[in-house]
Amino acid sequence: MSGFSITWLDLREPADLGGRNIELAQKALAALRDEHRALAPRLAVDLGAGTGSTLRALLNLGGDDIIWRLVDLDGALLDEALLRHGQDFVIEDHQADLSVVEELPLSGARLVTASALFDLTSQEFLERLCERLAAQGTGLYAALNYDGTTQWQPPHPLDAQVLDAFNSDQRRDKGFGEALGPDATRALQLALEPRGYSVQIANSPWQLDGADAELVTALINGIADAVQETVDAEPLAQWRQFRLDNAGSGTCIVGHTDLLALPDAPAQS
Ligand SMILES: C[S@@+](CC[C@H](N)C(=O)[O-])C[C@H]1O[C@@H](n2cnc3c(N)ncnc32)[C@H](O)[C@@H]1O
């Protein structure tokens, strides 16, 4: 168990799919199919794969010809991914702790992928991972990294304070050391460009309205719970209630960014 339930991942997946930048996803798929980049098969290694959301996102774009190696600490999530896709895809599942970077099964990958992962990780993890990617000339497609922005409509006087407190909480250690939180995409760019990668970044915001009230409700409660030690109880309770009262009629934009980094030198098999 990792703390990420199938229910939560299913709840957020439509918002992730709607936010994910299509152009970068198409380029990621093209990189997987680029015969000049590698002799190996069209192998994608998805880190923190959960139930296979990256697989599904690329499948939506016609990516039914990719071989997947799904890596996650949570065996129940990997089992669910195999249940959903094991009949139609060649899938290798690896239950492993990503923080043990040197043992990650990256060999032969044309592209390493991840979604909603890198904001949980640390600078140290990222440097070690990028070193391995560069050593074997493998690209990285890292989608849906939280960027630290959240815009609510209608506004509430406590929005900015709650957001500051939430962004501080995002830096709590999630098993990799101090988390990168909103800095994840920029940190990836700074780690990959000097190692010979061309990096493209695009916005991939969640754009939520009354139709997403269940997700918005979970988001409000998650934020309020996360900041309860740093924001005064009474105003926070009022903020939570105001937000819940407006979940069915207001809007919420949660900023994310996608990154695609491709090596200037071709991958080796
Ligand atoms: C926010 S979820 C994203 C899951 C999936 N990529 C998606 O977009 O639905 C983060 C994922 O990373 C996995 N994870 C977190 N820490 C991990 C670690 N140290 N080693 C392996 N997987 C980890 C969790 O089990 C979870 O599946």
Domain of 78, CATH number, reads 3.40.50.150
Residues β-bridged to residue 251? 153
Q: Is 72 in the pocket of ligand 1 (CB under 6 A)?
A: yes
**Residue 186 maps to a domain:** yes
Which atom of ligand 1 lies nearest, measured to the CA of 143? 8
Q: Is 50 in the pocket of ligand 1 (CB under 6 A)?
A: yes
Q: Is 117 in the pocket of ligand 1 (CB under 6 A)?
A: yes
**Residue 170 maps to a domain:** no
Q: How many domains does the chain have?
A: 1
Return the H-helix or E-strand segment holding 54.
Answer: helix 53-60
Q: Is 138 in the pocket of ligand 1 (CB under 6 A)?
A: no
- Ligand 1 centre distance from Cα of residue 48 (Å): 4
Domain that holds residue 113: 6-148+175-206+255-263
**Residue 218 maps to a domain:** no
**Residue whose structure tokens are 């229910």:** 7
Task: Please give the distance of CA 247 from its chain centroid, rounded to a whole number.
Answer: 24
**Residue 46 maps to a domain:** yes
Give the span between the Cα atoms of 223 and 243, in whole angstroms: 11
**Residue 19 maps to a domain:** yes
**Residue 39 maps to a domain:** yes
What is the mean pLDDT of each successive set of 10 residues along the chain, which is 269 residues long? 87 98 98 75 96 98 97 98 95 98 96 98 98 96 98 98 98 97 98 98 98 98 98 98 98 98 75
Length of the chain as a residue count: 269
Contact 133, 106 (CB under 8 A): yes
**Residue 16 maps to a domain:** yes
**Residue whose structure tokens are 């309770």:** 237
**Residue 242 maps to a domain:** no
Give the span between the Cα atoms of 80 and 99, in whole angstroms: 22
